[in-house]
Amino acid sequence: MSSTWAEQVWAVLKKDVLLEARSRVSLNATLFFAAIVLLTFSFALGPDRRQLASAASGLLWLAFIFSGLLAFGRIYQLEMENSAFEGLLLLARNRSAIYMGKVLGAMAVMLAIEAVVLPMTAVLYTLDVAANLPLLILSLFLGTTGFAAIGALYGALTASLRSREVLLPLLLLPVTAPVILAAVKATSLALTGGSADVARWVELLLVFDVVFVTAGLLTFEYAPGE
Amino acid sequence: MQWIQRRGYVLGTSGLGLLLVGGYLGLVWSPPDASEHDLVRIMYVHVPVAWTMYLAFFLVMVGSAMYLWKRDLKWDRLAGSAAEIGLLLTALTLVAGSIWARPTWGVWWTWDPRLTTTAILFVIYAGYLMLRTLQTNPLARARQAAVVGIIGFLDIPVIQLSVEWWRSLHQGPTFTALNDPTIDDRMEVTLFVNLAAVTLLFLFLLGRRLRLASMEQERDELLWREAQRV
């Protein structure tokens, strides 16, 4: 019985999620990491409430970015440790399906972290989360997708290299600069209830997501080191 | 590519010659700008170098895509060589931009859209070269570098758009001399001469680097064969 592309994606995603759910190491660790990042930034910027509130969107995304970097490394760690990259092919013949499964898995981790860190930050910095909640959720979702699209690709690329921890951020961050700019801007507008050029930033995120998920689907088969 | 490698001396000498002419035109013959006065002369360095930088990165993408298609390592050599020279050109673009920024705005750096985009490009291609250095398996290196080369180039228009929007909302100053449609004839000539000069020099350097890359590959193959015999 041959499986459809969607079934293959689901197979990859389910495997990763199940393993995570049973061990829960990665999610816990990454969650605490995001919290520590946020606290450290607060110490670095000082206790001035207004300064923190105006920088809140940027700080949030910095925390998400750092957590994401951890996640993109981890989603391939199992495969690397057990030389299991070929095993993935048993689950999903289409490498593009493997890619999609990994993207969704990375997104699941990042979104779970965002769901916890956002309320926490809202309390710490007295943010008005309800000012434009739909836009807030949209920005978080689209921004996370953009990151995960490149992260899942470059994560596979750097997984087999010893210098992975340095190379992954070095490759990922400049390429995702548009996502960072747009997501921070859109999130900031959502938190302050502003509406200036909202459509523009959301459009930019959408374009980035579409272009780079497509690029990932097409080039993933060339990415892994083995 | 063979074409470029074989005509090295022609490209090099003509490029150098044109550069000297262009230098004279730029520094002496062309008039100062109405608003920027002599500062505009930086444009004769900045624009040609920036254009050649984009040409280099375009070649990186071509080499990357062709390698994934044909699996002939000569395309990988093109991508790697073009990226090295491209990175140098990016650094020169940034330096020229900084030198222009200092007297214009009083600071060495400003988040001008073009400067910011160029800085991001610098890091993207530095990362590309780092990957090439750190991946020791030559076939994996060619394949993986090709992915990064293609993604990086695809991102260039997206980065430019996003940075421009990011800056325009803050009404930042931009490199206005380039947007002037009523550019003086003498400035146009100077610009094109320098453009031709830098492009020729780039092709010359590319040819030398390609030769070097070929020789490196031959050496590696020889070493590998020796290792097999022992």
The torsion defined by the Cα of A34, A38, A41 and A46, in degrees rounded to 10, comes to -170
Of A23-27, A32-36, A104-108, B81-85, the least confident = A23-27
Q: What is the pTM of this model?
A: 0.89
What does the alpha-carbon distance between residue B93 and residue B98 come to, in Å, rounded to a whole number?
9
Residue type, B195: L
Q: What tokens were used for A142?
A: 């689209």
Q: How does residue B178 score in pLDDT terms, banded at 50, 70 and 90?
A: low
DSSP code of residue A223: -
**Angstroms from A190 CA to nearest CA on chain B:** 16
By C-alpha distance, the chain A residue nearest B146 is A222
Q: How far is A21 from chain B (nearest CA, A)?
A: 32
Percent of chain A having pLDDT more than 90?
39
B113-147 b/e (C-beta count within 10 Å ≥ 16 → b): bbbbbbbbbbbbbbbbbbbbebbeebebbbbbbbb
pLDDT per position as a tens digit, B99-149: 888 887 788 888 888 889 999 999 999 999 999 999 888 899 999 999 999
Both structure tokens of B2: 């063979």
B28 pLDDT higher than 80: no
Q: Which two tokens stand for residue A19?
A: 């393993």
pLDDT value of position A170: 95
Tell me, yes or no, if B69 comes closer than 8 A to chain A by beta carbon: no
Residue A150 with chain B: CB contacts under 8 Å: 151
C-alpha–C-alpha distance, residues B158 and A112, integer Å: 28
All residues of chain A having their beta carbon less than 8 Å from the beta carbon of residue B147 are 153, 157, 219, 222-223
Could you tell me how many CB contacts below 8 A there are between chain A and chain B? 85
Closest CA to A19 of A65, A88, A66, A92: A88
pLDDT digits (tens, 9 = 90+) for A166-176: 999 999 999 99
Contact predicate B121/B76, CB 8 Å: no
Which band of pLDDT confidence, cut at 50, 70 and 90, is reported for residue B172?
A: very low
Distance CA B209, CA B89 (A): 15
* 3-class SS of residue B163: helix
| Burial class (CB within 10 angstroms; exposed 0-12, middle 13-18, buried 19+) of B179 | exposed
How many angstroms separate the Cα of A65 from the Cα of each of A139, B5, B9?
Answer: 14, 44, 49
Length of chain A in residues, anyone? 226
Q: Which residues of B touch A215 (CB under 8 A)?
A: 150-151, 154
A187 neighbors B178 (Cβ within 8 angstroms): no
**Chain B residue closest in CA terms to A170:** B127
- By Cβ distance, the residue of A177, A182, A225 closest to B120 is A177
